[in-house]
Amino acid sequence: MSLRSWTTAVLLTFAATGCDRGASTGAVSGAQQPSVSFAGGGDARLRVAHSGLRRVSFHPEGEPDVTFRERVTTDGNGHFSVVPVEAVDASVLDWDSFELVQRTLEGFIFRYRDFAIRDPRLFERNWRTTDLGQTFTVASRTCRRYRIERIDGKATVYELSVDVENGMVLASDEFDASGGLRASMTYESLLFAPELSGIAWHQPAKEIQLDPRQELEVARPRKLEPKLLPEGYGLGEAATVEEGGRSWLKRTYTDGVEPLFFLQALDPAPAVSLDPESASRELTASQVYVYRIGSATVIQGKVDGADVIAIGKATEAELLDLLASALPD
């Protein structure tokens, strides 16, 4: 897949992950910052071998709702499969195209679409956890209900149903500032220790994980390194990615939950025509195009002569500051 296709795929995923979220209305009772089993020990979906049918819904502001089912399977040793199954209530008009996008984005969807604690240290710093004192049954499993909300910066709220035995998130809801539901996920059925023969596991693209401290040894002389991140964010991962015959340096930042991506081309490429209707912004010796899809802000163009892409659930000003801070002193 070319980088342009990869970027489009990423944008389509963000388009599907809901719009601006904020604190839901109403007072919340319960102990603050409880000892939460799902806050550590890695991604429970990967630790616990299972196969489950999930109902996923997105309610982007000003756009049609999308609801569909997918089957997730893991072997407990890091392998996973995410297969779209069917649309619900004809909410996806072109299922064939939708299914193709979902399959193309399998790895991205599993790693970044759903709620996950991506950095326990930053999670504890930036997010508040409230035990709602409620018990639910999801897919015949007993779950505890938690509310997770951003302490500072952009208001964000998740409400999660967490399996009391293994820490898997079996249901999640996202809310906007007025308490409107923006996205939800629920396991409708769940089988542990499933039959794994015949499962087509996700095959990752050519991506080489880096030690962030060794980036200078890998990147080219014109490497751009953002110095000003949105409030609460830190570097989570760094990798080189080979896509469409080009080499890219990909940095993934996080506030503990939400991911933010900064990609820089490490080699030249033919000129790419950008959407002339996109809103343009000028930086010194640079030109970028800024647009939004769902709750994600996207910036794409050139900075100091390098092709760059920044994608995240951050404001335009925050991402422009991030790019400007990457310019050489």
> In this predicted model, what pLDDT tens digit does every residue of 120-153 receive, in sequence order?
899 999 999 999 999 999 999 999 999 999 888 6
Positive or negative: CA dihedral 192, 197, 201, 203: positive
Rounded CA-CA distance 186/170 in Å is 6
Rounded to the nearest 10°, the torsion over CA 316, 318, 324, 329 is 180
pLDDT beyond 60 at 269:
no
Query: Would you state the pLDDT for residue 301?
Result: 86
The average pLDDT across 76-82 equals: 93
What is the model's pLDDT at position 244? 61
Residues whose CB falls within 8 Å of the CB of residue 178, separated by 6 or more in sequence, listed in order: 22, 25
| pLDDT of 27 above 50 | no
Residue range 210-217: mean pLDDT, rounded: 62
**Residue 256's pLDDT band (boundaries 50, 70, 90)?**
very high
Q: Tell me: the pLDDT tens digits for 312-322? A: 888 889 999 99
Residue 212 pLDDT > 60, yes or no?
yes
Rounded CA separation 300/56 (Å): 29
Q: Which of the two residues, 267 and 128, has the higher pLDDT score?
A: 128
Write out the two tokens for 97.
């195209």
Report the candidate in 320, 311, 292, 298 with the shortest Cα–Cα distance to residue 60: 292
d(CA 47, CA 67): 27
Average pLDDT, the chain: 79
User: Nearest-5° angle of CA 278, CA 100, CA 103?
Assistant: 105
Q: Is the dihedral of CA 77, 86, 15, 264 positive or negative?
A: positive
Separation between Cα atoms, residue 86 and residue 69, nearest integer Å: 5
Q: Which 3 state secondary structure label does DSSP give 312?
A: strand
Counting residues of the chain whose pLDDT is more than 70, the rounded percentage is 75
pTM score above 0.85: no
- Cα–Cα distances (Å) from 212 to 59, 136, 184, 216, in that order, read 36, 41, 34, 9
Domains of the chain: 3-192 (2.50.20), 207-325 (3.30.200.100)
The pLDDT value given to residue 247 = 81
Q: Is the pLDDT of residue 112 over 70?
A: yes
